[in-house]
Structure 1
Amino acid sequence: MSLLVIGVLLWSGVHLFKRLAPAMRAKMGAKGRGPIALVLMASVVLMVVGYRSADSYDLYAAPEFFRHINNLLMLLSVGLFGLGNSKSRLRSTMRHPMLTGVVVWSVAHMLVNNDTASIILFGGLLIWALLEMALINKQDKDYQPYEGGSKAGDVRLVIITLVVYLVIGGLHMWIGPSPFPMGG
């Protein structure tokens, strides 16, 4: 479990570094990108290895219908991730679509994963995303909503969201656990 906790803390710390120590991050300049990327990759490896090897136990009973809610929330989460870089008209409606996508992703996974390792992983990333949004809002007062977007951008967003969602679902079915009820 310690590898998982270290991974979540590293991920959060590195992402929050720019907000918590802006002068130090600015001093690093472009040369800081490489080391930061390496630490982020290490944090992902630690989270994956820590999660898969954690000695975990269930904290609550998750009803079967939560799987359907999870799948719907995951579709929304994938759409929110895509929205952040889209040419959709919807982009102007949200300040933090990608971080909101992390929040939705985290909640969706905590609905269906009721063990301690899942709560640490998904709960930790949920806390990070909420803290990141709060710090950005506090520090970046000059935010200007995205202007533009088109109906074609909306359509592309929907299509890409569906394709990515199906790929993620397929990968989950392959490596487990399957997010989709299998006949029976």
Structure 2
Amino acid sequence: MSWAGFAAVFAAFFLTHSIPVRPGVKSRLTAAFGARGFGVGYSILSLAMLTLLIWSAGEAPYVQLWPQMSWQRHVTHLGMLTVCLLLALSIARPNPFSFGGSGNDRYDPTRPGITRWTRHPILAALALWAGVHLVPNGDLAHVILFGVLGLFAIAGRGLIDRRKRRVLGEARWRALDDLRRAGPRLHVPGSWPWLILRVVIGLGAFLGLLWAHPYVIGVSAI
């Protein structure tokens, strides 16, 4: 694949990932397919585009910037374990500050959970995913890939903050955020079984990614 082809795939990736932050487009798709249909369809599209983008980086011209060493993979393994646990603890949980929240009317800012550490845990996980994959992938195409995606996730926090301020109203958003910041960093969970289940899911996802990596990406993660 040429650099132009790699750039074209990148452009298509960003185009599809702009859908959630374009209210007009999202509302039309939601009206046509329903909220659940849109969520499932967009998730499949996002994963497909990410897979295509990663594949295209592997097919782009190889230009080495630094060599791969064995210790780098251990850094990536530890980082990916953190990513999987972070996603397992944040997906489909009440979070009025970011995307992906479920049952936001039940959000209790005095018991903020993972949002006490960051308003955007999913974006934090994406940024960490990109960062730890930069370490063992020292060729130019992968540095561009993971560097841009990491910056995209970091910059997305500000974009979503501005959108949520408009949706909730500045006073409401600020009040919730102040209560969140004042909440405890750690507190007794509302349900220990659900917490344990989410941790188990995160660990299972990490092991599943290790197993699937050579089949999906074409390179062993071990």
TM normalised by structure 1 equals 0.77
- The 5 A counterparts of 1:59-138 are 59-85=65-91, 90-93=113-116, 94-138=118-162
Per the TM alignment, residue 79 of structure 1 is displaced from its structure 2 partner at its CA by: 1.4
- Supply the AA of the counterpart residue of 1:90: G
- Across the aligned residues of Structure 1 and Structure 2, the Cα RMSD in angstroms comes to 3.1
Residue segments in structure 2 that go unaligned for 5+ positions in a row: 95-111, 181-188
Question: Highest Rg: 1 or 2?
Answer: 2
Contact 1:113 1:119 in 2 (8 A): yes
1:6–1:43 CA contact under 8 A, matched in 2: no
Q: Secondary structure at the match of 2:151?
A: helix
Report how many aligned residue pairs link the two structures: 176
Distance apart, 1:123 and its partner CA: 1.7
Rounded to whole Å, the distance in 2 between the matches of 1:18 and 1:161 is 25
Q: How far does residue 64 in structure 1 lie from its aligned partner after superposition?
A: 2.8
Q: Deviations over 1:51-73 (max 9, x none)?
A: 23211221123443221111100
| Shift in CA distance, 86/39, structure 1 to aligned 2, threshold 3 Å | closer
1:160 corresponds in structure 2 to 201
Change (3 A) 1:157 1:96: same
Call closer, same or farther: CA 1:46–1:158 in 2, change over 3 Å.
closer
> Deviation of residue 125 (structure 1)?
1.6
Greater RCO, CA 8 A, separation 6+: 1
Change (3 A) 1:24 1:167: closer
* 1:164-175 map, 5 Å: 164-174=205-215
Q: Which runs of 5+ in 1 are unaligned?
A: none
Asked whether the equivalents of residues 66 and 112 of structure 1 are also in contact (C-alpha less than 8 Å), the reply is: yes
Contact preservation (8 Å) 1:86, 1:157: no
